[in-house]
Each structure stands twice: as structure tokens, then as C-alpha cells.
Amino acid sequence: MVEVSTSILTVKDGEEAQTFLGLEKAKTDYFHIDVMDGKFVEKNTYNKMLRYSEYIKRLSNLPLDIHFMVEDVKKAIDDFGSLEPNIMTFHYEACKDNQEIMKNIEYIKQYHSKIGISVKPETKIENIYEFLPYVHMILIMTVEPGKGGQTMLSTMIQKIEKLKKYIEENNYEIDIEVDGGINLKTMNKVKKAGANILVAGTAILLAKDYSKIIEELKK
């Protein structure tokens, strides 16, 4: 089964409530929250995403899928963990060594949230294999993290396939989420490669009919 996590990064000011409610009605499976700190990536969406997450928590019962593009992962886990997200995902590249990765995993656990690790396009997927027994999801960035509306990097397809194969060979139960440039044109390739959670921002938010596109993405 394929699930859809809608990135609300580019929701228009003043249209937050109607957009969030519209997405819930259109059966998005998650709200994807892109937390940026102005250091790990150029943009800073930190406080805005905290506000949006609090707002969604009041408005909806749908799960929060939080993607930390930040250097200070521990602080972000504390700030967003109190909102009881379904899953918190941090970047492999934000951690100085493997020990720090394991520490972040343990830290997320304290909030009873699921755990994800994300990899940037240039990071080899083999680097995260040793953490697979401890996480629920791997988020493969299919664009350079930092902004919405980019074109999917087609070379990421092999990376998804490779991870899927490794997960199956080892009988792990881990979700593969893809993020960046996912739309009706690119979705089939990533699904075929093994992704089962698709993040889409621009493709959904710019669509006239949220239900229709979300339904298509899930097929």
C-alpha cells in the first residue's frame, strides 16, 4: 500500500486553515512538516513549522511526519516531540559520527515517536544499513533538501531499488519514503522502485482538486 504525506512547506499565508482541512478531507495520510534551521539548509522555517504543527494538532487527528533539516537534532526533537508526532526523521549528514546517530535514535524513542533517518542525494545508501534494525523509516531525498518545487533526480531510482532489495533480503519491516519532485509523472518510477510513502508538496498544493491527486498518488 502506498501512502501520501503532504508537505505543507509552501502553503499560502492566510490560507492555512482551509488548506489543512482540505487536505484532511482529501485523505492525505500524513502532514509532512519540513523543519529547516537556516544552517543545515539555507532557509529557516523552524518557528513557522512549530506554529503549523501546533495548529494541525488542534485541527486534526492526522499524524505528523516531521522532517528535520537541522544541525541541532536534539533541540528539534525536544521542540517537536512534545507535539506527539507519529514520526520524527533526522538527517544522516547532520550527525558527526555513528554514535551520535544512535543517540538521536534513543532520544526520539523517549517521545514514543517512530524514528526515521534521511539521506541527501550524494550520500551512499550503504552508510545507513547498520541503523536499519533500529528505525521505522528511511527517507530518501530525491532532490537536494532546502526548497520545494524542484525536479526529481532520476539517479535516485537506483538508490531506492538498492535499499528495497537490502530491506527484503534482511526481512526488515521498514518504510521507504521519498521526498522531492514527486508528482503524477514521477510517481510510478519511485513506486516501482520500492517507495511506499510519497511526500508531495507542490504537486498537491497547486492541484485544483486535492482528493483527485492524492488518490492518484496512492494508486
Residue 202 interacts with ligand DX5 (CB under 6 A)? yes
Query: Which residues form the catalytic set?
Result: 34, 179
Interaction between residue 67 and ligand DX5 (CB under 6 A): yes
Number of helices followed by number of strands (H, E) in the chain: 8, 8
Residue 62 CA from chain centroid, whole number: 15
Cα–Cα distance, 5 to 30 (Å, whole number) = 4
User: Quick one: 194 or 201, whose CB is closer to ligand DX5?
Assistant: 201
Give the three-class secondary structure for 198. strand
Count residues near ligand DX5 (CB under 6 A). 21
Judged by CB under 6 A, does residue 76 bind ligand DX5?
A: no
Residue 149: name its binding partner from ligand DX5, Zn ion, none (Cβ under 5 to 8 Å by kind). ligand DX5
Select from 201, 213, 214, 217 the one that contacts ligand DX5 (CB under 6 A).
201
**Restricting to residues 137-156, which ones interact with ligand DX5 according to CB under 6 A?**
143, 145-150
Taking the C-alpha atoms of residue 180 and residue 110, their distance in angstroms, rounded to an integer, is 29
Q: Does 34 bind Zn ion (CB under 5 A)?
A: yes
Round to whole Å and give the CA distance between 53 and 80. Answer: 8
Q: Is 85 in the site for ligand DX5 (CB under 6 A)?
A: no
Contact range with ligand DX5 by CB under 6 A, out of 44-52, 88-96, 176-184, 189-197: 176-184
Spatial CB neighbours of 175, under 8 Å, sequence gap ≥ 6: 116, 136, 137, 138, 196, 197
Residues that bind ligand DX5 (CB under 6 A): 7, 9, 32, 34, 67, 143, 145-150, 179-182, 199-203
